[in-house]
Amino acid sequence: MPSQILLPISSSSSYLPPKSSTQMMFKPLIYDSSSSSTTLLDGDDHSVKPLLSRASSFNGAVTSPNGESTGLYQNRRRRSNSDNCLSAAASPDHDGTTNGSQQQTIGQEVSHAAAETFLLTRLFLKLLSYLGVGYRWITRFLALGFYAFLLMPGFIQVGYYYFFSPHVRRSIVYGDQPRNRLDLYLPKNTNGPKPVVAFVTGGAWIIGYKAWGSLLGQQLSERDIIVACIDYRNFPQGSISDMVKDASSGISFICNHIAEYGGDPNRVYLMGQSAGAHIAACALVDQVVKESGEGDSVSWSSSQINAYFGLSGGYNLLSLVDHFHNRGLYRSIFLSIMEGEESLKQFSPELVVQDPNLKHIVSRLPPIILFHGTADYSIPSDASKCFAETLQRLGGKAEVILYEGKTHTDLFLQDPMRGGKDEMFEDIVSVVMGDNQEVIGKSVDRRRLVPEFMLKLAHWVSPF
């Protein structure tokens, strides 16, 4: 694996290591994977216990309320994965029936697969109609086709798992709007309630779909974690406010009903990837605003969310609109998705928490842990770093885990398909299962889904 970047952020929270009294400054660090400490270029050594094992952490020095400046130096150590097998709970459905009594026939499965394929084809054609067929997009779609071809061996295996595994509960209705459905990935081990990750998939706000989370669901369910992949209306079926409402409704269903599927409502974690990370963050911040008396009634509580995981997300739309335009998501389309330029600030979590009238909501937010690759050109890693810095400055709990040389899709697709121990997923498990050292300490080497040379080619041709 490539070496990682390790930079520090201070925090007034006990969620991160204790403060040290130093002058406000950044010092370049040398990370030596063979050593148990992180060494400053000026020769000082610091070794402290990190929030997450082994992954690199970005922390920016800020001034504490009492005037002190702090800088935290963390180091990572490797942990091995669990040897739990992919599993699913035989818990009763919402209507009281059991998993075994609802086994579908092959004909029903094929019919469902055909319907899903039709939906995906329609989404693809819809994307083409909005983006146009200029030279830039012709070359990008050619690259996308080659990229998909290289990863096809993995897609076929994951697709088979998604459609035919008895451990996957597909299309559970959570609301009354179109596409208000979610998929559940259930562990086989039914000994006690399981932690839950509510996942909002990405897709440029246009082609998001719940099945995009099947690889994550498969991998985390192997670690005794329930994964709920939330579908939502995409543009032009809905705009950003509809997407946020759908995500919030899905989270509400999970918080209020996951116990019926073997989940622990007191151990719910929220996660999003790319556009899904933005939508999930908006839903979380909006929920906290409502709870502070600034909005409508609520059907779930932010206190039920133990932590938020943001993967390759963008949280300040004002700083990203030009970047997206240059990447091909043209300004006119993007502003239509976001309901006009005047709404960009409203749907930018990084800016909402800085509102003088809403600064008090930061203390109500759960710990925010952001993952980003340094070679991400779709959404630069600075988007995550700036959001974390803002939260830290306002007294929130935040951390950024940077992965050197990783692109927008490496962390979510190529790395999991590589097999063996996966870096980012191990970091997630270390937080979700932090009180279960037996699970974390066990090792599981997942089988490879795609040959290495094809993964390397996919890394270079990826249009993302």
Q: pLDDT tens digits, residue range 57-93?
A: 444 443 444 444 333 333 333 333 333 333 333 344 4
Q: Is 94 an annotated catalytic residue?
A: no
Q: Is 408 an annotated catalytic residue?
A: yes
Computed over every residue of the chain, the mean pLDDT equals 78
* Residues 244, 399: Cα–Cα separation, whole Å: 24
Going by their DSSP bridges, the two strands 168-173 and 181-185 should be labelled as antiparallel
Q: Is 46 an annotated catalytic residue?
A: no
* Residues 229, 324: Cα–Cα separation, whole Å: 26
Active-site pick, 10, 274, 302, 430 = 274
Active-site pick, 408, 415, 430, 459 = 408
- H helix runs in 338-450, sequence order: 349-352, 382-393, 415-417, 423-432, 437-441
* Residues 361, 354: Cα–Cα separation, whole Å: 10
CATH superfamily ID and name for 135-461: Alpha/Beta hydrolase fold, catalytic domain (3.40.50.1820)
Of residues 294 and 185, more confidence is placed in 185
pTM comes to 0.74
pLDDT at residue number 271? 98
Active-site pick, 246, 376, 422, 427 = 376
Find, among 211, 214, 221, the residue nearest to 187 by Cα: 221
pLDDT in tens, 290-320: 988 765 667 899 999 999 999 999 999 999 9
Query: Mean pLDDT across the stretch 416-422?
Result: 88
pLDDT at residue number 385? 96
Query: Mean pLDDT across the stretch 164-186?
Result: 95
* Site of tokens 């490539």: 2
